[in-house]
Amino acid sequence: MTHARQHRIQVVAHRGASEDAPEHTLAAYKKAIEDGADALECDVRLTADGHLVCVHDRRVNRTSNGRGAVSALELADLAALDFGSWKNPDAWRGRDEEPDWEHRPGDAGGPGDPSDTSVLTLERLLELVADAGRPVELAIETKHPTRWAGQVEERLLLLLKRFGLDAPPAAEPSPVRVMSFSARSLHRVRAASPTLPTVYLMQFVTPRLRDGRLPEGVRIAGPSIRLVRNHPVYVERLKRAGHQVHVWTVNDLKDVDLCADLGVDAIITNRPRAVLRHLGG
């Protein structure tokens, strides 16, 4: 069954195609691009030696064969770890076909190669998007709290500037947006780059935001699917206030239909291929 779209809903690959491949790995993002995702979502943390890496948890214990906090490890320490074998290889190594990627020195030829499942820097992910061969947007989440208060946003904007992505024209859609549960983090981003879109992530509706308001300068709301299920009228309030709505993490196709019926602007999912097919994309 496909869902007739009332408007174009962007499908965002959550940590890459993370149902099929280990999250936040080059394999997962290659698969998401191959599957047709409109955008890629990633979380960023700062290493002890100042590199932004795509890791969700504060510690690497869950998604690698190592231990310790990302902020206490250097990039070389993380590069020595395996970020892929925790996920069943049979669940992600199969592909309908091999994508025609332009390989780089040290890159892998397939999803089973070590460099496809080693730690992924944000710089390498930006390179992947630049070489995708079609427009692919990027939704970057800053993680908080962190020992590097303010430095994450500073390093992020410096890296985006290197790629010419830090100051998009106000009248044109931006290929990058910054997301956070921290209003302070988004304020730092907007103060340094006023035209870069920001997304305020939320699990609950606080009294101050109940009428559809968002933190100053933020124009995109990022409610969880649980919040949307429990309070669908809140989406209507956000839309009436002129905000876009990007919902996470939407994996059940019934929830996809709910989001489509409510007119959300983006669905963030671990299953980009399945969601695109369901929406008729």
Which residues are tagged catalytic?
A: 14, 56
Could you tell me the two tokens for 63? 């998604």
**Maximum separation of any 2 CA atoms in the chain, in Å:** 52
CA distance 69 to 143: 13
Report the DSSP beta bridge partners of residue 266.
Answer: 10, 246
Tokens 């070489």 correspond to: 131
Classify 140 as helix, strand or coil: strand
Classify 11 as helix, strand or coil: strand
Nearest 5 degrees, angle CA 144-CA 210-CA 224?
A: 50
Could you tell me the two tokens for 273? 């291929």
